[in-house]
């Protein structure tokens, strides 16, 4: 539950009237996933600009649970994969111009583009143009609507991505570009529990975003190992009990942390979520060396060390892991790391934190193609923006309000928004999503 009083006020008749008269932001409460309402409310409108290069797209969209209809659309999918020249961009305008205002509150607009063709600079130019178009439209649509660009060549490989983006689970993901490659994708038998039979480990699971990730992965069927520091033992055991998992207390900065984690999961891991992190803010001129090193050690060095050990020991499911004979059938391993908008845009007083989170992004981009090719393991990151946690609740009121309003959705996100994004990247059906840094920031107006 958000503590955002302004958001609650704008949801009242008096609040809507007053904010409209004064020209103030009018954020709306976002529709998030619940067991009672797992789908968006309304039909799906499927449009095309240019000649589609996705012959099976209609079949995949039908499996999302959304259907075509005459009512106000809850989602619009524009297939622009065949746009190869400037004239084709006019078709993008012609397709969306008449319908964009009709999209329901908290609805979705998903634009599908093709990878940039280095041999065709005209195609590359207009397909890159879709990125500027998408980001701008995300800042225009308002009323809790989101806009996303997905670059792909195979709709079947993108099914998990389309299901995520066309659902309430992606409520705080907007203005983003997701690339779906040609990695191996397994068939998901039960999309309500796509992680059934998998084991996931979440670091920093005792509270906040880590706790939300543990709960969401468990909801999706995973057996969750909840890890945190020994000082948080009571809290992490409480979380583990709630999700039906197990608790482990390890200081991730210890030299033997990777080996200890490996010993705690003798049957191996399918999903590794590096979420543990700390802040020690000061401007660089006032920052003691200990503040610098502690943040870099927890947020970056521990990720590098433990990942190396778990890969070397074959703990994480991969094609060559001695622990798993059915790796390909089960979809390979998943590594998801929590980065931050600070690592993309920077923040005053956070040179240490921003360096560590930018380092995480570099780690993902360098490791992802190699371990995918060698082991069938994907590596991705989520980059949260302003998320309503105990840490942001302690911020000065003016800074907190600025953080909430400086995004296209006009409000802070919730820990579950990050968790839902992690769960999508962790799915066995997301094997073609690799090396991505997905910003869970409501389309922050800075750095997004």
In whole angstroms, what is the distance from residue 304 CA to residue 308 CA?
6
246: left (phi over 0), alpha (psi -120 to 50) or beta: beta
Percentage, residues of the chain above pLDDT 70: 96
pLDDT tens by residue, 156-201: 999 999 999 999 999 999 999 999 998 888 889 999 999 999 999 9
In the chain, where does the domain assigned CATH 3.40.50.720 lie?
A: 31-179, 199-440
Rg (CA), the chain: 22
Output the pLDDT for position 77.
98
**115-127 burial by CB neighbour count: b if 16+ within 10 A, else e?**
bbeeeeeebbebb
The CATH number given to 199-440 is: 3.40.50.720
- Tens-digit pLDDT profile for residues 36-88: 999 999 999 999 999 999 999 999 999 999 988 888 999 999 999 999 999 99
- The count of C-alpha atoms lying within 13 angstroms of the C-alpha of 401, restricted to the half-sphere facing its C-beta, is 7
Provide CB contacts within 8 A for 257, sequence distance 6+: 250, 251, 302, 305, 306
Q: What is the pTM of this model?
A: 0.96
The DSSP element (H or E) to which 109 belongs, if any, is strand 108-113
**Statement: residue 391 has pLDDT above 70:** yes
Q: Is the pLDDT of residue 237 over 90?
A: yes
pLDDT in tens, 326-367: 556 667 899 999 999 999 999 999 999 999 999 999 999 999
Using CB atoms within 10 A of its CB, is residue 290 exposed (0-12), middle (13-18) or buried (19+)? exposed
The set of catalytic residues is 353
Superfamily designation of domain 31-179: NAD(P)-binding Rossmann-like Domain (3.40.50.720)
- The SS3 of residue 291 is helix
pLDDT band at 311 (very low <50, low <70, confident <90, very high): very high
Longest dimension (CA), the chain: 66
């Amino acid at each position: 539950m958000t503590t955002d009083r302004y958001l609650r006020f704008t949801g009242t008749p008096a609040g809507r009237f007053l904010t409209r008269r004064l020209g103030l932001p009018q954020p709306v409460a976002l529709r998030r996933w619940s067991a009672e309402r797992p789908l968006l409310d309304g039909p799906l409108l499927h449009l095309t600009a240019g000649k589609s290069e996705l012959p099976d797209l209609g079949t995949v969209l039908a499996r999302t649970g959304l259907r075509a209809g005459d009512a106000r659309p809850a989602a619009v999918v524009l297939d622009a994969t065949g746009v190869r020249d400037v004239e084709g961009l006019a078709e993008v305008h012609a397709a969306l111009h008449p319908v964009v205002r009709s999209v329901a509150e908290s609805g979705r607009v998903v634009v599908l583009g093709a990878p940039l063709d280095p041999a065709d600079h005209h195609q590359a130019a207009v397909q890159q143009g879709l990125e500027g178009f998408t980001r701008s439209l995300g800042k225009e649509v308002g009323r809790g609507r989101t806009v996303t660009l997905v670059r792909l060549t195979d709709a079947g490989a993108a099914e998990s991505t389309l299901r995520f983006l066309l659902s309430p689970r992606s409520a705080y993901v907007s203005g983003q570009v997701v690339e779906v490659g040609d990695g191996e994708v397994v068939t998901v038998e039960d999309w309500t529990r796509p992680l059934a039979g998998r084991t996931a480990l979440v670091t920093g699971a005792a509270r906040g975003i880590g706790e939300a990730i543990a709960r969401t992965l468990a909801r999706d069927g995973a057996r969750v190992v909840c890890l945190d520091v020994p000082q948080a033992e009571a809290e992490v055991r409480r979380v583990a009990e709630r999700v039906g998992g197990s608790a482990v207390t390890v200081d991730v900065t210890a030299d033997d942390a990777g080996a200890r984690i490996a010993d705690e999961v003798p049957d191996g891991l399918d999903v590794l979520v590096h979420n543990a992190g700390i802040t020690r803010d000061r401007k660089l001129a006032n920052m003691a060396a200990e503040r610098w090193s502690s943040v870099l050690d927890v947020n970056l060095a521990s990720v590098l060390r433990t990942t190396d050990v778990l890969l070397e020991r074959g703990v994480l499911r991969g094609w060559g892991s001695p622990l798993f004979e059915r790796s390909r059938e089960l979809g390979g391993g998943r590594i998801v790391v929590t980065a931050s908008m600070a690592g993309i845009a920077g923040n005053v007083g956070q040179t240490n934190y921003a360096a560590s989170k930018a380092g995480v992004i570099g780690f993902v981009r360098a490791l992802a193609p190699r371990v995918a090719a060698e082991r069938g393991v994907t590596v991705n990151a989520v980059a949260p923006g302003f998320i309503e946690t105990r840490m942001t609740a302690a911020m000065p009121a003016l800074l907190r309000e600025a953080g909430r309003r400086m995004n296209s959705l006009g409000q802070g996100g919730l820990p579950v928004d990050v968790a839902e994004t992690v769960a999508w990247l962790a799915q066995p059906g997301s094997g073609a999503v690799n090396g991505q840094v997905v910003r869970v920031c409501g389309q922050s107006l800075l750095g997004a």
